[in-house]
Amino acid sequence: MSTVDDALAEDLITVEIVGLPVDVQLEAQQQNDELTRELVLVAEQLRQEGDSAALPVRFVELVGTLSTRYSMFTAEQEQQLRTAIESGADRLDMTYRVPRSAAAAAAHLGDILDEVDDYCRRGKLLLTLATPEKLVTYRRWFLDQFVSQAAGGPPVSWVEYAAKPVN
C-alpha cells in the first residue's frame, strides 16, 4: 500500500485550530517558502555529492512525504485561509479531519524545523535566516494542536498559547 492508501485507511481525528492569526500565518508561510526553496537547492547539491543523510536532504524528503500523505486532508483549510486573506479577516477557526498519524508527523516536522533553525544560525550553505521567535512560537502552537488534540487534549487558541509565559 502507498502512504496515501495508508493515510486513508487510518482512523481520522478532529483537530480544531482556534483563532489562527492570518497575518502571522502569512508571514510564517513566506518564511517557510523561502527556506524550503533554498533547502531544495542545497539538498540537490548534497545528494550529488553523495551525502543523503544531511539535514537539507532529510528536510526535503520529509516535506515531500508529508505533502504526499496529508495534502488531501488540508485542501479545504487552504481554501478557507485564501478566503480569509482575500476578505481581510484577522483570525480564522479551522477544523481538520486527519489521520491519527498526523500527530507524530507534526511532532517530527517541528523537531526537524528546530534543527533547520540551528542550521541557519550556523550560517552553513544558507542565506535564509533562522525563523524569528514569534514565528517559532506560532509554529509550535500550530503543530502542537495536532499532537495534543490527538492525545485527547482540548484545543488551545492562538491568543491563549501566545499569552503563556515562555519556559
DSSP secondary structure, 97-153, as one string? EEETTHHHHHHHHHHHHHHHHHHHHHTSS--SPPPPHHHHHHHHHHHHHHHHHHTTP
Instruction: Tell whether the model's pLDDT for residue 25 goes beyond 90.
Output: yes
From the CB of residue 128, how many other CB atoms can be counted at a distance below 10 Å?
17
Highest mean pLDDT among 6-20, 46-60, 61-75, 115-129: 61-75
Band the pLDDT of 114: cuts 50, 70, 90.
very high
* pLDDT computed for residue 103 by the predictor: 96
| pLDDT band at residue 163 under the 50/70/90 scheme | very high
Q: How does pLDDT run across 84-106, given as a tens digit for each residue?
A: 999 999 999 999 999 999 999 99
pLDDT reading at 126 higher than 80: no
d(CA 125, CA 13): 39
Looking at the DSSP bridge assignments, the partners of residue 14 are: 97
CA gyration radius, the chain: 16
User: Looking at the predicted structure, is the pLDDT value of residue 125 above 70?
Assistant: no
Which set of grid coordinates corresponds to residue 92?
480564522
Return the percentage of the chain with pLDDT > 70, whole number. 92
Identify the three-state secondary structure at position 95: strand
In residues, how long is the chain? 167
120 has a pLDDT exceeding 90? no
pTM score of the predicted model: 0.86
Domain ranges of the chain: 23-160
Secondary structure letter of residue 54 according to DSSP: S
- CB atoms near residue 91 (< 10 Å): 15
| DSSP letter (8 states) at residue 165 | P
pLDDT tens digits, residue range 29-86? 999 998 888 888 888 888 889 887 888 888 899 999 998 999 999 999 999 999 999 9
